[in-house]
Chains A and B, each alone.
Chain A
Amino acid sequence: MLWQTGKKDMLDLALGLMLFISALLSLHSKDTMKSGVFFIIFGFLSGLIWVRLEAPDVALVEIILGSAITGLLIFKLVKGSKQKDLKAFTFTRLWAGFISFLILIFMLFHLTTIERQDRIASLVFENLHKSGVDSAVNAVLLNFRGYDTLLEVGVITLAIFGLLSLGLKREAYYWDNPLLKGFSRLSLPFIVFFSLYITYLGTFSVGGAFQGGALLAGGLVLFALAGQALPLKASIIYIFTMAGLGVFSLIGLLYALLGYGFLTYPLELSTISIMIIELSIWISTAFLLYTAYSGKL
Chain B
Amino acid sequence: MIWFYYILAILLVIISLYHFIVARNYVKRLIALNILGSGVFLFFITTAKNTNTESPDPVPHALVLTGIVVAVSATAIAVSLILHLNKEEE
Contact = CB atoms under 8 A, between A and B. Distances in A.
Interface of A: 2-6, 9, 12-13, 16, 19-20, 23-24, 26-27, 32, 35-36, 39, 42-43, 46, 49-50, 53-55, 57-58, 61-62, 65-66, 69-70, 73-74, 76-78, 80-88, 92-93, 95-97, 99-101, 103-104, 107-108, 111, 114, 116-122, 124-125, 136-137, 139-141, 145, 148-149, 152, 155-156, 159-160, 162-163, 166, 168, 170, 210, 214, 285, 288-289, 292-293, 295
B46 A53 contact: yes
B76 A85 contact: no
A166 B84 contact: yes
Contacts of A289: 72-73, 76
A205 to B, nearest CB: 12
8 smallest A-B Cβ distances: which pairs?
A292-B76, A96-B21, A136-B58, A121-B57, A159-B73, A140-B62, A32-B27, A156-B73
A99 B73 contact: no
Task: Specify the main secondary structure of chain A where it touches its partner.
Answer: helix
Interface in B35-90: 35, 38, 41-42, 45-53, 55-59, 61-66, 68-77, 79-84, 86-87
Size category of the B interface is: 35 or more
Given A53-B5, A66-B68, A82-B86, 10 more contacts: A5-B4, A32-B27, A49-B5, A57-B61, A107-B14, A111-B3, A122-B53, A160-B77, A163-B80, A210-B69
A70 to B, nearest CB: 5
